Structure 1
Amino acid sequence: MIPKIILGKGPKAVRRTIGYLFGPGRANEHTDPHLVASWNAFAPDPGRPSHHTPREVMNQLVRQLEQPLVMLGDKAPQHTVWHCPVRTAPEDPILTDGQWADIARRIVAAAGIAPDGDEEACRWVAVRHADDHIHIAATLVRQDGRRPQRDHDKRAVQRTSREIEVDYGLRRLKSGDGTAAKRPTSKEHFKARRLGQETTTREVLRLRVRRAVAVAGDEAEFFTLLESTGVTVRLKHGPSGDALGCTFALPGDTNDQGKPVFYSGSTLAPDLSLPQIRQRLNTTSPAPAPLPAVNPWHQATAATDLIPNRLTHGEDSAAQAQLVVLGMTLDLLPITGPPETKAQLELAAASFERATRFRITADRDTTRALHRSLQTIWRDRTTDGDGTGFAMLLDATLTAVAFAMHWHRTRNNSQQEAAAQQAFVHLEAAHTQTTAPVLTRLAAHSPSQQTKHRYAHHLQTATPQHAHRVLDDPAWGALTTVLAEAEAAGHDAATVLDQAIGQRSLDDAHSPARALTWRIRRLGERHAPGPRAQAARLRSTTARGGDQHPASALPRPVTPTVPVQSRPRRR
């Protein structure tokens, strides 16, 4: 059940609100508006037959609601109307008028509009438009002339709504912490539909601003990127001339006067105000640019690989920063990956956006490497060759999202946990689409049968309990290819395989060979030993008379394991 509180200003706000509630609606959606409850159970109902015309009855209702305001005259408050639409989910049972009346009374009592047993409370009505929702409208002056005590009414109404969901067997929504982005209004949805847009202007702007923040190196580049996507930016300057805020608009989105409709960054999302954007842009400013020789896909994957460990062992402020930069990664994946994965990746990014915010100030020092890598991929339009770079980054991102889901669960952030879980579902779908052709290409270059037998022996030694699953896995051919590539780069196959197995358990891996393929590809390409190290190992190995394949100097990675009960089943 979703309640939403709206305040109306001015002496004519009551008439405007009642006129809308008993009118046809903006899209003729008001087919049977009628009262289900009121402050005294005897309020005039313009939606039911009467010996008066509907307009006359509506005027009577407006006069009765306005009476406490009229008594105050010039002392009436600025906000005169409290308006709260309440909507159930599509899968919920259809409630009767009597049930909606009970819900309305509970909500006005929780909000402080009309506490139980208070005969001098505010006047209010509940109007039902359709099976799934009502509108509650109240005047913000009590009948005794005082103002209602409605401190924190939004939180109180939300708490009561969660109780109503249980009592009436409705879909139970997640409790929030006040960090969610503002939802588009019904008016915005109707306007988008009228203009032939798939999404509202608010949602389009939110996505474009988030992507610009992810790839911009400074404030000037941020505004340039936005304008290149068609967004109009208007700065708000203080007396000193410094920019204190900014608003955004899309061309073609105008009001009744034909002027652009501007949205402030904070109304798009709590973390998109200009001060918050500046903090995020500062993440990369003091750091040096990445070296040209470093593959940014590998660098981004290496940085993303560290997120699970930082979520598990870091302070909450550092973990919050990891969630933010992980959201940036998801924002850019749809525009850097294969076209066939775009839809699922966009859904994943939109879902995870809610999981990036929590009531903790982010310490972004540990996010610089990943942020710089994302910028490099975007600016240079770095090609991914055979697609393995993108596949590895997607694989690392999928794991990080699973850890983010667990992190929010342990802190009872139910909305953020649900958002991360939904993002995980979409990422898994994109992961399957991405990795299948890459694994096929890798398997086509698998080594000789003799080399495969040697790798199988290493595998049976390293993980005897999983060896048969890996050997029977369709991705076994791809795994042997990346092991051969690691050897060609100077690693010891047995050592790299052992390290990959030690990173995380294979118990819940749907495709253990595929999981090991990506791990070994990352290990082999990120940590190839230098010429001196290779020569030293070769001399040492020759002196021992042992294996002629030099061992890697990689330390065993310390990667946390998500508790078994909370790990989603994957690869």
Structure 2
Amino acid sequence: MAWHDDDEVGRDSALAIARHLDRPRTAYDVEVKGGHVWHCSLSLRADEGALTDEQWGAIARDFITAMEFDDNEGTKAPCRWVAVRHGVSTNGNDHIHIAVNLVREDGTKASTHHDFRRAQTAARALEAKYGLEELESVRAERSTRGYNPAEREAQARARARAKHERSRSKLGADAPTWEALAGDDRQALIASELRTDQPRYLLALKVRAASTASDSEAEFVRRMRRSGLLVRPRYADGRTDVITGYSVAERPQAGERPIWYGGGHLGRDLTLPRLRDGWPDTVTGASEAADEWNAAKRGRRVVAPGREASEPDPELWDKRNAELSQLV
């Protein structure tokens, strides 16, 4: 805005901007594992219309501050960054692209730790500040702890794009790039990846429900088995009484083999050490849990049924369901 105002940015001007953005990295000769450019896009729904350049500029600056790529109130050297606006997308979404040089102006590196979560938090704050439409899944409060619809779609989009670029490299230069694909074609590829991810997502819901309802690790194992899951523990070397992790799978259909997922692959909050933080740590509890894990491993009956065996009264269940519906 300051350098070019409304002028068209030609190739020479664009290269001059790029050299300016990249100067801290080249001056200090700093290498960043995975690449020194951090990129994301901020997009509106098509029916929200378009913002002015000034509005997008203010949003971009607030976003950079929220992501801590700025000077952090004078405590760090800032990163050099650029926001690019080149019209609406194929689907009619007004948007900008943000590119950040992760090498700060003093040669130190900016952190991208938990950048997806931080970006989502920043986006929610910007929606509220600038009166923009909230993400639909947030407005409906459909997200679940550790795994939400927006994250699933973002991951599916990344996988779809990577697969398309790999197939394009085999087909040759005539194959369209990801950006050149029609919006409907891109959405079809993303939807395909979402369907592929569905078993893991549903497993995570069941395991998370079992962990939330359980008062102990032994009850957690029993609840997973009660929901129809196959469960197997991971033991410490040479031990059968010390469990360090677990895997789960849906019961396979006839002729199929079970597909196992470790707790950490279902969600960061579903690793066994994280789950144990919410249960009492006693010698008796550890022994009871080991018995249930071993029974699950061998496909035997549960050792000591507990709270999970009590089914809610049907009338009480209907009453609570009606009350919840009214609350929602």
TM-score by length of 2: 0.50
Pairwise CA RMSD = 5.5
User: Of the candidates 388, 396, 400, which is equivalent to residue 320 of structure 2?
Assistant: 396
Task: Tell me the percent identity.
Answer: 24
- The answer to whether the 8 A contact 1:235-1:243 is kept is yes
SS at match of 1:146: coil
Structure 1 match to 2:202 = 204
User: Judging changes above 3 Å, is the alpha-carbon distance between structure 1 residues 246 and 77 closer, same or farther for their aligned structure 2 residues?
Assistant: farther
Q: How does 1:336-485 map to 2 (within 5 A)?
A: 372-377=306-311, 389-396=313-320, 398-399=322-323, 424=324, 427-428=325-326
Give a deviation string over 1:180-232, Cα, whole Å, max 9, x none: 42432423265661157297455322213135545895465467568x54x78
Which position in structure 2 is the counterpart of 1:139?
A: 101
Letter in 2 for 1:165: E
- Whether 1:170 aligns to 2:170 is no
1:94 and 2:59 aligned: no
Are the equivalent residues in 2 in contact too, given 1:125–1:137 (CA < 8 A)? yes
Residue number among 70, 81, 94 corresponding to 1:114 in the alignment: 70
User: Equivalent residue for 1:275?
Assistant: 273
Match of 2:245 in 1: 245
Q: Which amino acid aligns with 2:101?
A: T
The whole-number CA distance in structure 2 between the counterparts of 1:279 and 1:144 is 40
1:181 aligned residue: 146
Query: After superposition, where does 1:305-316 map in structure 2 within 5 Å?
Result: none
Amino acid at match of 1:390: P
1:347-375 CA-to-partner distances (Å, cap 9, x unmatched) read: xxxxxxxxxxxxxxxxxxxxxxxx94543
- Relative to its length, the structure with more helix (as a share) is 1
Q: In the aligned structure 2, how far is the partner of 1:121 from the partner of 1:69?
A: 13
Could you list the per-position Cα deviations for residues 352-409 of structure 1 after superposition, in whole angstroms to 9, with x for gaps in the alignment? xxxxxxxxxxxxxxxxxxx9454344xxxxxx9xxxx42322313554xxxxxxxxxx
Alpha carbons of structure 1 residues 66 and 247: separation in structure 2 relative to 1, 3 Å: farther
Matched residues, number: 247
Please tell me whether the aligned partners of residues 264 and 273 of structure 1 are also in contact (alpha carbons under 8 angstroms). Answer: yes
- Of structures 1 and 2, the one scoring higher in RCO (CA 8 A, sep 6+) is 2
The residue type paired with residue 114 of structure 1 is D
1:114 is displaced (CA, Å) by 3.0
1:249, 1:263 within 8 Å by CA — same for their partners in 2? no
Structure 1: which amino acid aligns with 2:244?
L
- Residue 104 of structure 1 and its aligned partner are, at CA, apart by 0.8
Q: Answer yes or no: is the 8 Å Cα contact 2:40–2:98 preserved in 1.
A: yes
Residue 264 to residue 374, structure 1, CA distance change in 2 (3 Å): closer
Tell me: CA distance 1:51–1:132, structure 2 relative to 1, closer, same or farther (3 Å): closer
Distance 1:237 1:90 in 2: 53
In 2, Cα distance between equivalents of 1:210 and 1:89 = 32
Conservation of the 8 A alpha-carbon contact between 2:153 and 2:194: no
Residue 126 in structure 1 maps to residue 83 in structure 2: yes
Partner of 1:28: none
Equivalent position amino acid for 1:112 in 2? E
Partner Cα distance (2:225, 2:306) in 1: 18
Q: What CA distance in whole angstroms lies between the structure 1 residues aligned with 2:9 and 2:251?
A: 46
CA–CA separation in structure 2 for the residues paired with 1:87 and 1:234: 43
Q: Secondary structure at the match of 1:245?
A: strand
Q: Which residue of 1 aligns with 2:289?
A: none
Q: 1:164 to 1:50 in 2, by over 3 A?
A: same
Structure 2 CA distance for aligned equivalents of residues 166 and 232 of structure 1: 43
Alignment of 1:74-85 (within 5 A): 76-78=31-33, 80-85=36-41
Distance 1:63 1:169 in 2: 36
* 1:488-511 Cα shifts (integer Å, max 9, x gaps): xxxxxxxxxxxxxxxxxxxxxxxx
- Do the aligned residues in 2 keep the contact of 1:113 with 1:150 (CA within 8 Å)? no
**Which one-letter code corresponds to 2:267 in the other structure?**
L
Q: Residues of 2 paired with 1:139 and 1:261: CA distance?
A: 39
- The corresponding residue for 2:185 is none
Equivalence for 1:560: none
The offset of 1:103, in angstroms, is 0.9
SS of the residue 1:244 aligns to: strand
Counterpart of 1:145, as a letter, is G
Q: State the partner residue of 2:174.
A: none
In structure 2, how many angstroms separate the alpha carbons of the residues matched to 1:153 and 1:195? Answer: 22
Please list, as runs of the form range in 1=range in 2, the aligned pairs for 1:297-312 lying within 5 A after superposition: none
**1: distance between equivalents of 2:62 and 2:320?**
47
Per the TM alignment, residue 245 of structure 1 is displaced from its structure 2 partner at its CA by: 3.5
Could you tell me how far apart the structure 1 residues matched to 2:310 and 2:201 are?
Answer: 26
User: Which amino acid in the other structure matches residue 375 of structure 1?
Assistant: A
Partners of 1:168 and 1:372 lie apart in 2 by 51
Secondary structure, counterpart of 2:81 in structure 1: strand
TM-score relative to the length of structure 1: 0.32
Q: Is the 8 A contact 1:110 1:160 kept in 2?
A: yes
Change in 2 beyond 3 A, CA 1:168/1:277: closer
Q: Secondary structure in 2 aligned to 1:197?
A: helix
Q: 1:105 aligns with which of 61, 67, 70?
A: 61
Distance 2:82 2:238 in 1: 46
Q: Report what 1:477 is aligned to.
A: none
- Contact map agreement 2:153 2:190 (CA 8 A) in 1: no
Gap change, CA 1:49 and 1:81, over 3 Å in 2: closer
The structure with the largest alpha-carbon Rg is 1
